[in-house]
A and B are shown apart, each in its own frame.
Chain A
Amino acid sequence: MMTIACPWCGARPENEFHCGGTSHIQRPPLDCSDATWGDYLFVRANPCGLHAERWRHSYGCGQWFNLLRDTGTHEIKAVYAMTAPMPEPAPEAGP
C-alpha cells in the first residue's frame, strides 16, 4: 500500500485517499461527434509506466491533486496541483 504525500497534509497512507483516474483529460466541446464524446467518457490509455492521475484526500483535507505514478513500481514521481501542467519526470539516477 502506497504512502501518498498530500500537498496539504503530508505523507499519509493510501487508504485515506480516493483515486479519480487519469488526469489532464480535456472535455470536448458539446457539439463534438458521438465517437469523440464516447472516447472522452470511456477510453483510457492504461499505460504500464508513468501515469498522471488525480487523487482526493477524502479522509483528510478533501482536496484533489495530481500524481505522476509509475504503474509498474508504484513509485510516485511528482505531486502537483489540480490546475498545474504535468511536470517533466526527473531523469533516472545514474548507476
Chain B
Amino acid sequence: MSGYRLPPPHGAWLDRSQPVRFSFNGQSIEGFAGDTVAAALLAQGLMHIGRSYKLHRPRGIFSCGVEEPTGLLDIGLGPLRTPDTRATDILARDGLVCASGNCWPSLNFDLAAVNQKLAAFLPAGFYYKTFMWPHWHLFEPLIRRLAGLGTAGDGPDPERYDEVSVNTEVLVVGAGLAGMQAAVSAAGAGRQVMLLEADVQPGGWAASQTLRPGSEAAARLAAARCDLARAGVEVQARTTVVALYDHQLATAIESLEGAAAPGRIRERLWKIRARQIILATGSFERPMLFPDNDRPGVMLAGAVERYATHYGVACGERVVISAACDSAYGVAQSLVAAGIEVAAIVERRPERELGGEAQAPHGVPVLHSSVLVGIAGKRAVRGVQVAGVGGGALQAIKADLVASAGGCTPNVSLYSQAGGSLRWLDAESMFVPERLLPGVAVVGACAGVFDLEAALTHAGQVGRSAPGGLMPTAPVGGTGWVPADNQPTLAALSALSTRGGKPGKQFVDLQNDVTASDVELAARENYRSVEHLKRYTTIGMASDQGKTSNINALVLMGKATERRPDQVGSTKFRPPFKPVTINALAGGRSGERYRPLKRLSARDFHHARGALFEEFGGWERPAAYPLPGEGLIAAAERESAEVRRGVGLFDNSPLGKIEVYGPDAAAFLDLMYVGTMSTLAVGSARYGVLLNENGIVMDDGIVARLAPHHFWVNTTSGGVERVASAFEEWLQCEYVDLRVFIVPVTSQWGNVTVAGPNAWRLLDQLGFDAAMAPARMKHMTLRESTYAGQPIRVLRASFNGELGYEINLPASQTETLLARLWEAGQDLEICAYGVEALMIMRIEKGFIHVGADTDGTTLPGDVGLARGVDKKPANFVGRRSLTRPAGKDPERMQLVGLQAVDSRTRLAVGAHLSLRPPPTQAEGWVTSSCFSPALQQPIALAMLKRGTQRIGERLSAWHLGTSIAVEVVKTPFFDPTGERLHG
C-alpha cells in the first residue's frame, strides 16, 4: 500500500460527490467521477497491474496519458472487450470490468515469469537466431501464446460508432495554453476555428502546475477559457487527432465511452479538412535510464505531479526524484505543496549546470552529480541506491516511488506524418521541427518552445497569420541544459559491485522489453541504421510507438557508434498516433452496412413466393423459389423445366440499362461495340460485345434502336456502371467531337421477363398490344407501347432459348405487373424462376456469361465471336489489340461444351482438363456446369486449347485429386436450331 487519495481540495478534475465502482482482476475498485482507471488504481494503492510482454516482469502505471507503455488492460467483457487499452486513457465508470492482459494463471503467480530467469538468453534478435531450425513456424504458436497481447473481444461488437466530416478554416490540435492562445488569436482575426483536445478538459501542461508556489497557471487557464468562449472557438474535448494526411486532412477519434445510456455511440471518427492546421500537441517527458527502472513504482515525474493536481492522488508516500533537467524541481514543489514527502532529488548534473528556476523545496536534499544505480523491491519500490557519477560510496534511500525526469521530448508525431523533418538541439537534447510546412504550423512545446511567455507570443502570432502566409520562426529552447546521455556512469555502477551487487537491466522500451544492452548488441552486430535498430530490437514498435523511449534509444545508439543523435536519425512517424479500434475506423460500416445491396422494388412479391435471396452483382435477387423441403439446386432444376413446359416470370430489373442519345450516337456505338449498330433499323435490336482497349471481352448485351438518334443499351447487371463509365471516358477523353449523351437508367426502369412456350398466350390474356404476337413481332425487335396507362418498352429476346418478352416499365410498376401476370398465368402453368434456373437454361443453350466463362484474357474469338470482328470493316475499341501475336496464336483457349462420358457425373467448375494425369500442363478448365433437366444429364462449358477443333475428343477433368472422363461436344446442347424461340 503506497498510493493514496489526497484530501480535498486536491483533484481539480474529480467530482467527489459521484463515487464510481469498477472491477480490476475481480477486485472492487472505488474512485470518483473524473478518475481515469489508472488514477483510481493508484489511489487504491495498486502499483503492480501487469506483466511485461516478453520477460513477464511485474509492471505498473508509468505515465498519466496517451504515452503509457505498461499500464495496459483488457477493458470490458465478451464482445465488448477491447484489449491492451491504456489505463491512463480510460475514464473510470460504474460497472466497468478490466483485467491484466499478459499473465496466466494470475497477476501475482505468472507461470511465464520464468522468462525473467532466462532473460540472459533472450537478448534482441534471440528469436531470429534460435528458432531457425527446422522452421520458425514450428515455434511460432507457442511463442505467440507466451508473448500474449491481451484477449480480443469475442463475437460482433454490439456498440454503435459514428463518422463525421467537417471543414474549417483553422484547426488547432491540443488545448494547452499555446493551443488556446493560437485558437483565440485566429478567431480574433475573423477565422472559423476548431480546437481539439484529447483530454476531458483543456489545460495541457499548465493544468498540472497549479500547485506550484507562486504559479499563475490556474489564473491563466481560467482567462484562456474565457477568451475561447468569447472568441467563439469550437472546442471538442476527448478527441485525439490520430493522423495528418496530404492537403491538411486530419482524422481524429472522439471517445464517448462512459457517456451513459444504452445504444449510445461509443466512438466517433472525425475527418477534418482545414485551410490551416496549428499543431500544439505539447511534449512527452523523457525517462531516466537506471537499473531496474521498470519496477512498479517508477513513474514519470510529470505524471506524478499530474495525478496529484488532477485526480488528488499521491502515487507514493515517500518520493525520490531522479532528474537530469530543471522541470524536476517544479514537480518537487508541487508534491511538497500537496503534502507528499520528497525524500531527495538525485540530480545527474553538477550543481553549476542547473538553471535558475531549479529550486528544490525547502528541506528537500539535492544530491548533485548522482544517479540511481539500483532499486530495492520487485513488485513495488521499497528503496533506491544512489551513487556519485564519479563513483564512490553507495547511499541507500528508503522510498516507495521514484519520479523520473530526464527532459522533454516534443510530440512531433503529427508534424512528422505531414512530411516534416526534425533537427536536434544539443543543449536541450531534443528533436524539434526543422521547417514550416505548407498549411501546417507548430506552436508551443511541440515546436520546441518551452518558455511560457515566448510560447504564448509565438502562438498568438501564428494564430493571427493568414493561412498560407509567412509564419514567424519558433523561439525554441527554454528547458535549461539537459544531458543527452542520462545512463549511470560505469563508475557509478561499479560502486554497486563493491557491495557485491550486480546492476539490473536498464529498460529503454518498457512495453517491448528492450534494454540498453539490447541497443548495444544491435550496434555491435552492425544494425546501426535507425531503421535496422528499430526492427532488430523491436524498440519503439509496441502500441505506444516509443513515445517515451525513442530518444533514449537514439542517444544510446549514438553513444555506441560515436555519433550524435541527429546522425543516427529518427524513424518516420506514421498514423495512427495512438491505437485506434477497427470499429471506430469502420464508423458503423459493418454487417449489412459494409456493402449495402440494391433491393428489387418487387421484393415483397418474391418474398411471398418463397424466394431464396442471394447477392448477384451487388443486387439482392431471388436465386430460386424453393418449395418446402426443396434445396436450391433442386428448385432451380424444377423451375427451368417448368419454364420450358409452360411460362416463367423473371424479375430482370437489375439488367443494365443505358440510354445513348445524340446525332452521333450510332457512330459512337459502332466504336464501342464489335457489332455494327449504325445499320440497325429503328425498332430492331442486335447482340453486341464490348472490348476494352486491350481487346479483352468486358461486357455484352443487346442494343436496340428507339429512334435514329436514340439507342437503348442493355448490359450485364453487374457491369452497367463499368460500361457507363467506359462510355463516358471514351466520349470525354478521346472521341470529344461526338455529340452524344450517356444516361444510365437501370434503377428507373424495371424489367419483367416473360419466357416459355405460353409467354404470348399469357400476355394476350392480359390485353397486351396484339402487335406483339410472335407472328407480328420478330425476335430481336423492340416495341414502345403502353400498358395500363404506363409506358413500356418490350424487347423480344431470349437468354434461355424460349419465346421471351422483356417488358421494361417504370420501376414502381414492376410489382403490380408481376402480380397481375402471376394471377392470370395460373391456368398456363406459370412459375417464378430465379437466377439459378436462368443459368441452367443459358448453359443448355451454350450462351456465355461474361465473368463466368470469360476472364481477363478472353478475346472475342475465344468465345465464338470471331465472325463479328471479321465482318466489321470499321474501327472499334480493342480492334488493334486483337491482331497482336498473342491474339492470333492458334493455341488459344476456346469455348466448348463438355459432357461426362458416363452421362451421370456433374463436373466441378474450375476442374482442369488434361490428357494425362497430373502433374501435367492443363489444356483447359470447366467454366460453367449444371445438371440439364432438358437433357436429363449433366453438361458443362469449358475453355479448352484449340477447343473448336477437338469436338469428339476425350479428356480427363481433374478436380481435388479425382478425374472424370469427358467428351468435347458442340454447343448448344439443347434446341440447336433455335425453333423454340418462336413459341
Binding site for B on A (CB under 8 A): 1-3, 13-14, 18, 20, 27, 30, 32, 34, 37-38, 41, 54, 56, 58, 62-64, 73-75, 82-83
Closest to A34 in B: B884
A30 to B247, CA, bound (A): 42
A30 to B883, CA, bound (A): 10
User: Are B249's CB and A37's CB within 8 A?
Assistant: no
Q: Which listed residue, A1, A38, A41, A56, touches B246 by the CB 8 Å rule? A: A1
- Judged by a CB distance under 8 angstroms, whether B106 is at the interface is no
- Judged by a CB distance under 8 angstroms, whether B590 is at the interface is no
A54 to B881, CA, bound (A): 23
A62 to B881, CA, bound (A): 28
User: Are A41's CB and B693's CB within 8 A?
Assistant: yes
Task: Give the residues from 314 to 343 in chain B that come closer than 8 angstroms, CB to CB, to chain A.
Answer: none
Smallest CB separation, B881 vs chain A (Å): 7
- Judged by a CB distance under 8 angstroms, whether B880 is at the interface is yes
Among the 9-residue stretches B357-365, B426-434, B732-740, the one with 4 or more Cβ atoms under 8 Å from chain A is B732-740
Known A-B contacts A41-B694, A83-B736; the reply to A64 vs B728 at CB < 8 A is: yes
Which 6 A-B residue pairs are closest in the complex by CB-CB distance?
A64-B732, A74-B246, A3-B247, A1-B249, A30-B880, A2-B247
User: Could you say which residues of chain A place their CB within 8 Å of the CB of B734?
Assistant: 27
Binding site for A on B (CB under 8 A): 165, 245-249, 273, 419, 438, 693-694, 725, 728-729, 732-734, 736, 875, 879-881, 884-885
A75 to B736, CA, bound (A): 28
Smallest CB separation, A73 vs chain B (Å): 8
Q: Which listed residue, B245, B881, B885, touches A1 by the CB 8 Å rule? A: B245
A80 to B875, CA, bound (A): 30
Known A-B contacts A1-B246, A2-B246; the reply to A20 vs B694 at CB < 8 A is: no
A37 to B728, CA, bound (A): 23
User: Could you say which residues of chain A place their CB within 8 Å of the CB of B693?
Assistant: 41
User: Are A62's CB and B880's CB within 8 A?
Assistant: no
User: Could you say which residues of chain A place their CB within 8 Å of the CB of B732?
Assistant: 56, 63-64, 82
User: Are B885's CB and A34's CB within 8 A?
Assistant: yes
Closest to B246 in A: A74
User: Are B884's CB and A82's CB within 8 A?
Assistant: no
Smallest CB separation, B874 vs chain A (Å): 11
Given contacts A2-B247, A3-B249, 7 further A-B contacts (CB under 8 A): A14-B247, A18-B725, A30-B880, A38-B884, A64-B733, A73-B419, A82-B736
A37 to B165, CA, bound (A): 45
A34 to B883, CA, bound (A): 8
Closest to A75 in B: B438
User: Could you say which residues of chain A place their CB within 8 Å of the CB of B875?
Assistant: 30
Q: Which listed residue, B248, B249, B733, B879, touches A20 by the CB 8 Å rule? A: B733
User: Are B249's CB and A13's CB within 8 A?
Assistant: yes
Known A-B contacts A41-B881, A58-B725, A64-B728; the reply to A74 vs B247 at CB < 8 A is: yes
User: Are A3's CB and B733's CB within 8 A?
Assistant: no
Closest to B884 in A: A34
A13 to B272, CA, bound (A): 11
Smallest CB separation, A81 vs chain B (Å): 10
A32 to B419, CA, bound (A): 45
A75 to B885, CA, bound (A): 42
A30 to B881, CA, bound (A): 9
A32 to B884, CA, bound (A): 11
User: Are A56's CB and B725's CB within 8 A?
Assistant: yes
A–B complex contacts, Cβ < 8 Å, 29 sampled: A1-B246, A1-B247, A1-B249, A2-B247, A3-B247, A3-B249, A3-B273, A13-B165, A13-B249, A13-B273, A14-B247, A18-B725, A20-B729, A20-B733, A27-B734, A30-B879, A34-B884, A37-B880, A37-B884, A38-B884, A41-B693, A41-B694, A41-B881, A56-B725, A56-B729, A64-B728, A73-B419, A74-B246, A83-B736
Smallest CB separation, A37 vs chain B (Å): 6
Closest to B243 in A: A1
A26 to B736, CA, bound (A): 14
Query: Which of B249, B694, B733, B884 has the largest number of chain A CB atoms within 10 A?
Result: B733
A74 to B419, CA, bound (A): 11
User: Could you say which residues of chain A place their CB within 8 Å of the CB of B165?
Assistant: 13
User: Are A56's CB and B728's CB within 8 A?
Assistant: yes
A63 to B245, CA, bound (A): 26
User: Could you say which residues of chain A place their CB within 8 Å of the CB of B248?
Assistant: 3
A20 to B732, CA, bound (A): 12
A14 to B875, CA, bound (A): 35
User: Could you say which residues of chain B place their CB within 8 Å of the CB of A1?
Assistant: 245-247, 249
A17 to B148, CA, bound (A): 42
User: Could you say which residues of chain B place their CB within 8 Å of the CB of A83?
Assistant: 736
User: Could you say which residues of chain B place their CB within 8 Å of the CB of A30?
Assistant: 875, 879-880
Smallest CB separation, A40 vs chain B (Å): 9
A63 to B736, CA, bound (A): 12
Smallest CB separation, A64 vs chain B (Å): 4
A78 to B425, CA, bound (A): 39
A83 to B738, CA, bound (A): 13
User: Are B728's CB and A62's CB within 8 A?
Assistant: yes
User: Could you say which residues of chain B place their CB within 8 Å of the CB of A64?
Assistant: 728-729, 732-733
Closest to A62 in B: B728
A86 to B783, CA, bound (A): 48
Smallest CB separation, A47 vs chain B (Å): 18
User: Could you say which residues of chain B place their CB within 8 Å of the CB of A56?
Assistant: 725, 728-729, 732
User: Could you say which residues of chain A place their CB within 8 Å of the CB of B694?
Assistant: 41
A46 to B879, CA, bound (A): 27
Smallest CB separation, A35 vs chain B (Å): 10
Query: Which of B165, B438, B729 has the largest number of chain A CB atoms within 10 A?
Result: B729
Q: Which listed residue, B273, B733, B881, B885, touches A82 by the CB 8 Å rule? A: B733
Known A-B contacts A3-B273, A13-B273; the reply to A54 vs B246 at CB < 8 A is: no
User: Could you say which residues of chain B place their CB within 8 Å of the CB of A41?
Assistant: 693-694, 881
A82 to B885, CA, bound (A): 33
Smallest CB separation, A41 vs chain B (Å): 6
A73 to B246, CA, bound (A): 8
Closest to B251 in A: A1
A62 to B884, CA, bound (A): 34
Closest to B165 in A: A13
A18 to B725, CA, bound (A): 11
User: Could you say which residues of chain B place their CB within 8 Å of the CB of A13?
Assistant: 165, 249, 273
User: Could you say which residues of chain A place their CB within 8 Å of the CB of B728?
Assistant: 56, 62, 64
A20 to B726, CA, bound (A): 11
A73 to B885, CA, bound (A): 41
A30 to B728, CA, bound (A): 22
A73 to B245, CA, bound (A): 11
User: Could you say which residues of chain A place their CB within 8 Å of the CB of B885?
Assistant: 34
Smallest CB separation, A93 vs chain B (Å): 11
User: Could you say which residues of chain A place their CB within 8 Å of the CB of B419?
Assistant: 73
Closest to A66 in B: B733
Smallest CB separation, A70 vs chain B (Å): 11
Closest to B695 in A: A41
Closest to A3 in B: B247
Closest to B419 in A: A73
Smallest CB separation, A9 vs chain B (Å): 14
Smallest CB separation, A82 vs chain B (Å): 6
Smallest CB separation, A1 vs chain B (Å): 5
User: Could you say which residues of chain B place their CB within 8 Å of the CB of A18?
Assistant: 725
Query: Which of A14, A30, A64 has the largest number of chain B CB atoms within 10 A?
Result: A64
A34 to B880, CA, bound (A): 9
User: Could you say which residues of chain B place their CB within 8 Å of the CB of A2?
Assistant: 246-247
Smallest CB separation, A26 vs chain B (Å): 11
Known A-B contacts A3-B273, A64-B728, A82-B736; the reply to A37 vs B246 at CB < 8 A is: no
Smallest CB separation, A24 vs chain B (Å): 10
Smallest CB separation, A5 vs chain B (Å): 11
User: Could you say which residues of chain A place their CB within 8 Å of the CB of B725?
Assistant: 18, 56, 58
Closest to A38 in B: B884
A6 to B728, CA, bound (A): 17
Closest to B167 in A: A11
Smallest CB separation, B595 vs chain A (Å): 16
